Amino acid sequence: MSSTHHVTVIEEWLDSNPDAMNEYFLRKADIVLVNKWLVQHGFSALQEYSLPARHNSASNEGSSPSSPIDLKCGDSGFFDSRHHRSNSKKHLRHDYARSKMRNMFRTYEPTSSPESATEARRSSLKEMRQFRSLPPNSVNMLSLLIQSKVRLPRYPSKDIDLKRELRHSNEREFFLEIVKDISNDLDLRSLSSKIVANVCLLVDAEKCSLFFVEGKASGRHNLVSKIFDVHSGTNIMPSSTGDIRIPWGKGIIGYVAETGHTVNLENASEDPRYNDEIGRITGYRAEALLCQPIKNADDEIVGVAQVLNKTGSEKVFTKDDENLLATYLTFCGIGIHNAQIFEAYSKEYERNKALLEVVHALCEDQTSLENVILKIMQRAQTLLKCERCSVLLRDGTTETSFNKVFDLAYPFRNGHSAISAESCSDLKLGNKIAELVLITGDTINIADAYQDARFDPEIDKVSGFHTRSILCKPIRDKNYQIIGVAQVVNRTDGLPFDEHDDQLFEAFSIFCGLGINNSLLYEEVSLSAARQAVALETLSYHAGVSSDEVIDIKAQKIPEEHEWRLGDLSFNDFSLNRDEMVLAAVRIFHDLGLIRKFRIEYDTLYCWLLTVKKNYRVVAYHNWRHAFNVCQVMFASMSKCNTRKFLSDKECLALIVACLCHDLDHRGTNNAFQQKSSSALAQLYGTKATLEHHHFNHAIMILNSEGHNIFANFSSDEYSEVVNILKHAILATDLSLHIQRVRDKFFTMVNQGDQSWDDRESKEILRSILMTCCDIAAISKPWDVQRRNAELVMTEFFDQGDKERNELKIQPQACMDREKQDEIAKLQLGWIDGICLPLYKHLAKMDPVFQEMVDGVLANRARWEILDAERLSKTAILETGV
């Protein structure tokens, strides 16, 4: 039979006989095994629960490691100094439970063993895994980032029995031990516990109390103790009645704090300064009393220590006790000062952490005013620990009325209990304090509401809420205008709001103002977007065409390409009317094979072409006719030249569409005018290729309209590819970009004899050059056509020049100055020599078919040169008077 089977049988027997297993465990188990069990189940070792530590045989001499100390509680509610040893499991459980509760306030750990160090590492890894197991959103990431990495220094505190034995055997070592005990503890509550216990041992006192000075910054001094009246030889327990507060100068403790004098009494109850209020609470009678101030390194009083009732043979505290206590309290003062600094740092860290979380909440959600304010109030209420937090927004119709009220009440169940504006009549109406802050813009901090004339008690009668203290601040927008009031009521600890609360609430009111402002801006943007969507839908409807128009034009016969000479580079730009140009565009799509290749529906194509035509404005030159003429030149170059072999079918489609759409919604003014006038287009698209971006977006708007998408049969990737080519092609018609980015590269490639247009960059250059070539092709047309086009261009230019002079109050450029219209020939020569002729010459060098355009440009240049010579001759005659 295997060993595994034996183990299984034994385990089954133990499970069925629990009493025998318990008895065997109690007889055989040692403290090491118990510690292992506790650590394995998430508890601390027994040393943490004040059981006799087994540090070494010398310190444990005479004690039984298996005998737990029974810490019995006396009738007064404090631990009795008499120890009763018992092996009872019941007492062990009670001791463990009390020790676990006491351990909540400790910051030190026993001397680490390899096992405890391993468990600490496991705990750290477990915490990290918990963070990593959370969803990877910004909230959890922020929590991990701002988690404090500061760890309190820890020093293992010896058991009180060991300290007592050490005092009897070596007073010097004992004193050094109790100094070390407090030297590295930065937790004020834990430090208080240690000081109280050590002082009782040091001067053989039955009980000890420790009070700290608070309220120095505000000028309202008082003494506060969280640990008081502790028996010598017992573990420290926090006050079951809460913090004990003593007014400044009241009683012996208050007297010592105020004067800094030592008080040593044989019979405390006979002294008129003695306050037996705490004695009545605890049921304890004080006889001998020693009370001394605790000072920091700057000789400022930071606390008071009081010991009661001398134990042993002596019944009073001696001069030696005074000196000994004063010496020890010197070290305590330093430790308390350091702990208070660390506590202030911790509070500041928590405040900054809360403010960072508020900023995150504001940045994360600005879509709802209610959600933003609710988040801010939740943070403010949690950090300020107040019973009620409210935000009142100004109405705007009157000086002191509120139109929206947000309120959080405390205590709450299952989170904060939000009160709607309708149920906040006590806040919305007759709130004199909020109204006063709204008018003056000053902060109001009231320590006792019922003693302040500005507070109206009727508000509490209406709401059923009892108001004690109020802190109220204005909320301002980005222009520092008051838009509301933030108010917190009643600190949960009963104290009034102090300077730190005021500073923190100031930050929250600023964030609240930012959040409200951003939310209102978001609402405005949302409304604007909605208006824009409605306007776009309306414009799309009116800018579109009816089905009757489509039917009518479809009924017309489409002539062959040669009948209208669509394939000629010398095509007459004015030979077709507006509807004939639509039919000619259909012929171009058909003859290039685009309709068949991309399965374009004829109804869709007609509808799209008619809508594109309709969306060109009535301007002199950049209109539907110009768009079609550019498309015709592109078709002719694809039909007659070798460029088609360098382009894919998708590129051909995109270029034809780009030609037809490249000046959509042109206003008859150029990019420079948009910038000078700070037009809506310039604000929307910026200062680079302003109009070209608008033309492209307008083209996309038409394509996205119902029944207009000639790219409908493309896949998602194909659609993106064609749209990208379309955008690049339309932007290429900006001549400033042509000169800056494309022209020199193209000229260099042609001059080097590079005929490879296969890579992406080369293809982009070729497409850009083709778009510019077609866009300015009017300069190569027969003279009559070219002269007419030039006059139309100058008409637009002069109209823009008039606007610049009359509306913008600036001097227009020479080419747009109506007063210099006799210089048209000169300007045309500059245009030909600077832009047109170099481009067409390099195109002809790449493909000889383009030589026809070069010849046309040269012929027109000769004509303009003659006109310019005539102008110069007339000018000379006028100047000479001959």
Whether the CA torsion 93, 98, 99, 104 is positive or negative: it is positive
Closest CA to 389 of 484, 489, 467: 489
- Euclidean distance between CA atoms 236 and 238, whole angstroms: 7
- Euclidean distance between CA atoms 545 and 665, whole angstroms: 16
Please, are residues 872 and 864 in contact by the beta-carbon 8 Å criterion? no
Helix (H), strand (E), coil (C) string for 257-285 = HHHCCCEEECCHHHCCCCCCHHHHHHCCC
Please, are residues 741 and 669 in contact by the beta-carbon 8 Å criterion? no
- Residue 743: exposure state from Cβ atoms within 10 A (0-12, 13-18, ≥19): buried
Closest CA to 13 of 21, 3, 2, 23: 21
Give the pairing of strands 386-394 and 402-409. Answer: antiparallel
Closest CA to 167 of 328, 57, 318, 30: 328
Closest CA to 252 of 234, 232, 278: 278
- Euclidean distance between CA atoms 228 and 337, whole angstroms: 19
Active-site hit among 231, 337, 622, 626: 622
Phi, psi of 806 (to 5 degrees): -90, -40
- Euclidean distance between CA atoms 840 and 833, whole angstroms: 11
DSSP structural state of residue 662: T
Task: Give Cα 382 to chain centroid, integer Å.
Answer: 20
- Euclidean distance between CA atoms 188 and 338, whole angstroms: 9
Cis bond upstream, residue 411 (ω within 30)? yes
Please, are residues 138 and 357 in contact by the beta-carbon 8 Å criterion? no
Rg, Å, the chain Cα set? 46
- Euclidean distance between CA atoms 172 and 170, whole angstroms: 6
Closest CA to 180 of 160, 151, 158: 158
Helix (H), strand (E), coil (C) string for 677-738 = HCCHHHHHHCCCCHHHHHHHHHHHHHHHCCCCCCCCCCCHHHHHHHHHHHHHHHHCCCHHHH
**406 three-class SS:** strand
Helix (H), strand (E), coil (C) string for 824-860 = HHHHHHHHHHHHHHHHHHHHHHHCHHHHHHHHHHHHH
Task: Provide CB contacts within 8 A for 321, sequence distance 6+.
Answer: 203, 204, 290, 310
Please, are residues 808 and 681 in contact by the beta-carbon 8 Å criterion? no
Please give the sequence-ordered ranges of beta strands (E in DSSP) within 453-504, or none if there are none.
470-476, 482-491
Q: Which two three-digit tokens encode residue 142?
A: 């922020």
- Euclidean distance between CA atoms 443 and 504, whole angstroms: 13
**131 three-class SS:** helix
- Euclidean distance between CA atoms 758 and 763, whole angstroms: 6
Q: Which two three-digit tokens encode residue 772?
A: 């510019």
Q: Is 261 one of the annotated active-site residues of the chain? A: no
Whether the CA torsion 630, 635, 637, 643 is positive or negative: it is positive
Residues marked active site are found at: 622
